[in-house]
């Protein structure tokens, strides 16, 4: 259960990070609300997962999921440049997250 909550929390990290960028310094209401709700739920899920998972592993997985999804969203919808090297590096992060899960 902790792993499922951790993955969902990692997805929510990408949601709040993306909403933060779209909030334009908290001057736009809808993205600011999405940021606040996403942040609160993401942190609550991380806290729940860390009750049973090691802090280092849980945090690394949470950050890895959030980082990869945030960059992927930026490349797909935000005009962030795509390159083979960037995709390979993101695949490396995904591989590391899977490796941390496999070792636990």
Q: Assign 3-class secondary structure to the chain.
A: CHHHHHHHHHHHHHHHHHHHHHCCCCCCHHHHHHHHHHHHHHHHHHHHHCCCCCHHHHHHHHHHHHHHHHHHHHHHHCCCCCCHHHHHHHHHHHHHHHHHHHHC
pLDDT tens digits for 59-68? 999 999 999 9
pLDDT in tens, 6-34: 999 999 999 999 999 999 999 999 999 99
Model-wide pTM > 0.95: no
Greatest distance between any 2 Cα atoms in the chain = 43
Residue 77 has pLDDT above 90, yes or no: yes
């Amino acid at each position: 259960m902790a792993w499922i909550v951790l993955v969902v929390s990692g997805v929510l990290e990408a949601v709040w990070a993306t909403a933060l960028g779209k909030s334009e310094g908290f001057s736009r209401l809808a993205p600011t609300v999405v940021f606040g709700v996403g942040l609160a739920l993401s942190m609550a899920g991380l806290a729940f997962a860390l009750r049973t998972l090691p802090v280092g592993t849980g945090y690394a997985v949470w950050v890895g999921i959030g980082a990869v999804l945030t960059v992927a969203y930026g490349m797909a919808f935000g005009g962030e440049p795509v390159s083979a090297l960037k995709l390979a590096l993101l695949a490396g992060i995904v591989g590391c997250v899977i490796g941390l899960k496999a070792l636990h």
